[in-house]
Amino acid sequence: MSNILSLVYWDLCRKKHCNDFTGMNVALSLIHRIPHLPLTHESDGLRPLYALAHMPSAFPSGTGFGRLQQLIYDTLRLERLEVQNFCRVRVNLFGISIDYCGKSIGIVADVTQVEGLRVAQEEHQYNTSFTGRICELALNFPPIRLLGRLLIFVYLLFQNHILLKFSSGISEIYQKKKTHLVVLEILNCMCDRVSEYEESELREASAYDAMLQAAKLGIIEFIDKMRKTNPDLLWAIDRNKRGIFSHAILNRRKDVFRLINSVNGRKEIIRCSADVFGNTLLHLAAYLGPSSYLDTRSGAALQMQRELQWFKVVEEIVHPKCKEEKNGDGKKPREIFSESHVEMLKAGEKWAKDTASSFTLVGTLIITIMFAAAFTVPGGNHQDTGVPIFFRDQIFTLFIIADAVSLFTSSTSVLLFIGILTSRYAQKDFLKTLPLKLLCGLVALFLSVVSMMVAFCASLATMLKGNQRLVIAAMSLGTIPVIVLVPSQLRLFLEIFNSTMHARYIKYETPF
């Protein structure tokens, strides 16, 4: 019977089920029923613990959400409260809390029951939020109990029939978060068993291999929980003598790499460690990162910048002698970095030149327009004095200021982009110099476009006094270029800003 249930558990945890809440919920029930499940040998030679380390998407760190999706994920809180045979689920979306109950196994919000599988689970108590406790106390008073029930009904109707039914995006995030909670509970159950294992049992359960695999995939929750269960697991190495931090550097897993701060007493060993090929941590950082990591950057220049940042961070933590140490092939870290990033350097140069050329053209057009507008002021000039007719008008003053600002900022942006075009494109230029020039050039170009449209609107307002409808219509049309420019270049601007300014004084204590 144990072997049959183990096979069911393994099937439920395969890739096609790794995001399925029901499958993971049944797997949680099985692991409660079979305490030795982490040691179970499966038909293809893999242990459940090792299989769990192959599922990055089943953990919060592997969601791959964008900013908005991550915001929704973070604000959607599920807290399990088990009392006897009931599973209470607290759902909190954007600060609104509610509880609803039902017989179930694990963590469920739709009050479903898996037939044929009823297990005795340990009682878990999760602290509710302060707001949730206040709401519970308030609902105990008869005068507002009816109102409270009405609010509960409205909230459940809103969540179940509007948010979850008609918003597939939020519903998908909601289901993923439920799955993540169950997977974390499965991990906790496994770690409770693993804490009792000796070293031979840990190796039989593939615990060390699972740690290395989790490091490759960046499953920080798995590694952090396992190392707290047994600190010796943090020192797992493969047959090439590469440990968790080596694989974190090779695969650019920054969250796993941050765990180096939790190493007490052995940090010096890590700083000087080398694999069987003579590669130190700095040699490993010099190799080209995986494509899945590099593709998160918009252009090759920003990819090159991130690779240089990784190299600099690792360079700060290794022993000074490792900076010039040669590996088994007789190569220093800098030599490996240069050789492995040749194509990226060429692609980064091409991307930077193409981007700068496009922006230079736009800036040049703005300079031409605003320079001409400075000498053809709206309304013309007095023939006898040459002073503009609307010289004392406040709107005309706004036109002059906006025209001057647009002319100066566009000239600045063009000079910055020309500096990019004439750069020597050395490797170190991609770390700060080129991104800063591109960042400042984008800001100056954006200000020049905004100032140009302000000058345009001020000019129309000066010449069309008394016709407010036409002025408002023209101003509305004048905002279109700004509306088009901001979304199209905002992502590039934010990426450059985050990767350059945020990491300008980067230290390994807080990498990236």
Range of the domain at 185: 1-194
- pLDDT score at 466: 63
Contacts of 502 (CB under 8 A, 6+ apart): none
Distance CA 402, CA 408 (A): 10
Count of structural domains within the chain: 2
Q: Is residue 283 part of a domain?
A: no
- pLDDT score at 506: 40
Looking at the DSSP bridge assignments, the partners of residue 237 are 243
Which whole-number Å values give the CA distances from 453 to 439, 465, 479, in the listed order? 22, 18, 7
Q: Is residue 312 part of a domain?
A: no
Domain boundary among 154, 173, 194: 194
Looking at the DSSP bridge assignments, the partners of residue 77 are 92
Q: Is residue 177 part of a domain?
A: yes
Q: pLDDT digit string (tens) for 175-186?
A: 888 888 888 888
Give the whole-number percent of the chain exceeding pLDDT 90: 29
Q: Is residue 237 part of a domain?
A: no
What does the H/E/C string look like for 443-477? HHHHHHHHHHHHHHHHHHHHHCCCCHHHHHHHHHH
Q: Is residue 31 part of a domain?
A: yes
Q: Is residue 332 part of a domain?
A: no
Q: Which residue has the higher pLDDT, 490 or 165?
A: 490
Helix, strand, coil fractions of the chain, as percent rounded to 5: 65, 5, 30
Distance CA 332, CA 205 (A): 38
Q: Helix (H, G, I), strand (E, B), or coil: what is residue 241?
A: coil
Q: pLDDT digit string (tens) for 344-369?
A: 999 999 999 999 999 999 999 999 98
Tokens of 24: 């993971």
Q: pLDDT digit string (tens) for 374-414?
A: 777 665 555 665 556 655 667 778 888 898 999 999 999 99
Q: Is residue 20 part of a domain?
A: yes
Distance CA 309, CA 427 (A): 11
pLDDT at 294 over 50: yes
Q: Is residue 346 part of a domain?
A: no
Cβ(432)–Cβ(477) below 8 Å: no
Domain boundary among 149, 167, 194: 194
Domain boundary among 160, 194, 228: 194
Q: What strands, in cross-sheet order, belong to the sheet with 76-83?
A: 76-83, 86-93, 96-100
Residue appearing with tokens 């791959």 = 64
